[in-house]
A and B are shown apart, each in its own frame.
Chain A
């Protein structure tokens, strides 16, 4: 799995961190998404798919390999 984020689209909702805290974080100053791991392990895949699905800004793309 490869995870791609779009910081320009991100609205700092933090939904991705709620869904998959080990993969996403938010910048201190403005809450914009930070990707901690663009190739997360299998046990986190479902959480990452959930994060992408609920992102209200469509800022997360998941490429399944």
Chain B
């Protein structure tokens, strides 16, 4: 059996571009088409809610590759084009405008689309996913508005931090009891909440948005489910994102929470998925997961590209992700189930320099570091090794010393 020689990659973000590059690095010399629905050359998203929003970096700083590497890719780069369908019978990707592109190998990497809220279609209410979104939001923040951020996950918390850095009045709202509750649980979420209040954010947890208040088509405030309301000149809705699978409806591919892959990122013969859109079974944790993390986009794209070319390797990483808020760099390896137990492995939470371990069903499944990059990298091994939980007191000391 010969390998594919007409590969199409749909999605030109970190996952799509990395997949294309990995295919070439592995010696694939057939035709390669990379399709992206934005006009911009492939760019990196984590800085959008950090340096781009803060204005410390110009947009050219976040290009994923320079012109030379892009040219070396020897790919048809179709920018500003959306995939609108997939025809499994003819093995073609359908583009808006009517073009059809043949493939015998396909990588699906169309990422996610931000969720919105009812009534959020009035002026002054922003979503943040793309570079254009970030530049528009920054331009409006420069007007000095009173800011309300709805949603205290990664994105909302980072936006709140940047807005406070611009000395704006910021209110951060989340229906959960503390910020980043879903990501890291109550104890760490409490510390994140304190970090924000220490920096002057008005934190409103345990309450959601009932409706947006508008006048003349523009937001002027937010009414909360607890009955209170507040003024707002600008609202950022950061309530998560949904996999961009609409274009695959009716294709026959298994869709659920994303595109459902097997342990090898395969969706169907010759068809793989990677990045935010891909749900797959991670053998390391023996569970199905879908990750919206920058690191996973790269790692999964490399794995999917390899398997498309016959590498036959399960993708079973210990996931890595991070967030930067004010002077806090919070980094994490592993998974952080809602019912996990937590214990401090190194340092002191009160000193805002520590590493915490997360245990689930008798195994250490995650480690989280707060301003402790080196120690965290070392303690990651405890997750790789599936260290029994609760860990013995000597475990972390031994790991750090080694």
Partner of A56, one of B61, B294, B302: B294
Interface residues of A in 5-24 (CB under 8 A from B): 9, 11-15, 17-18
Give the residue of A14, A17, A54, A58 whose beta carbon is less than 8 angstroms from that of B44.
A58
Closest Cβ neighbor of A55 among chain B residues: B298
User: Interface majority SS on A: helix, strand, loop or mixed?
Assistant: loop
Q: Assess the A14–B377 pair: CB atoms within 8 A.
A: yes
Residues of B within 8 A of A58 (CB): 44, 64
Chain B 366-390 interface residues, beta-carbon cutoff 8 Å to A? 371-374, 376-377, 380
Residue B285 is within 8 A (CB to CB) of chain A in the complex = no
B320 within 8 A of A: yes
Collect the chain A residues with CB atoms within 8 Å of residue B377's CB.
14, 17-18, 26, 31
Give complex CA distance A55, B377 in Å. 14
Chain B residues in 8 Å Cβ range of A31: 329, 372-374, 377
Determine the distance from Cα of A31 to Cα of B377 in the docked complex, in whole angstroms.
10
Most chain B CB atoms below 10 A, which of A12, A17, A54: A12
A44 interface residue, CB < 8 Å from B?
no
Residues in chain A near residue B295, CB distance under 8 A = 13, 15, 54, 56
CB distance from B175 to the nearest CB of A (A): 29
- B21 nearest CB neighbor, chain A only: A53
Given the known interface contacts A15-B320, A18-B377, A31-B374, the answer about A54 and B329 at a Cβ–Cβ threshold of 8 Å is: no
Indicate whether B200 reaches chain A with its CB closer than 8 angstroms: no
Interfacial chain A residues near B373, Cβ < 8 Å: 12-14, 26, 30-31
Assess the A56–B46 pair: CB atoms within 8 A. yes
Q: Given A13-B322, A26-B374, are A56 and B298 neighbors across the interface (CB < 8 Å)? A: yes
Residues of B within 8 A of A43 (CB): none
Contact (A53, B298) CB under 8 Å given A11-B322, A13-B331, A58-B64: yes
Closest to A14 in B: B377
Residues of A within 8 A of B374 (CB): 14, 26, 28, 31
Q: Closest B-chain residue to A26, C-beta based?
A: B374
- Residues of A contacting B380 in the complex (Cβ-Cβ under 8 angstroms): 18
Report B-chain residues with C-beta under 8 Å of the C-beta of A14.
Answer: 373-374, 376-377
**Complex-state Cα separation, A56 to B377, whole angstroms:** 15
Q: Known pairs A14-B376, A54-B295, A56-B298; list 4 more (Cβ under 8 Å).
A: A12-B331, A18-B380, A31-B374, A54-B302
| Closest CB pairs A-B (n = 5) | A31-B373, A14-B377, A12-B373, A56-B295, A56-B294
- Some 19 contacts from A to B, beta carbons below 8 A apart, are A11-B46, A11-B329, A13-B373, A15-B295, A15-B320, A18-B377, A18-B380, A28-B374, A30-B329, A30-B371, A30-B373, A31-B373, A53-B18, A53-B21, A53-B302, A54-B298, A56-B294, A56-B298, A56-B322
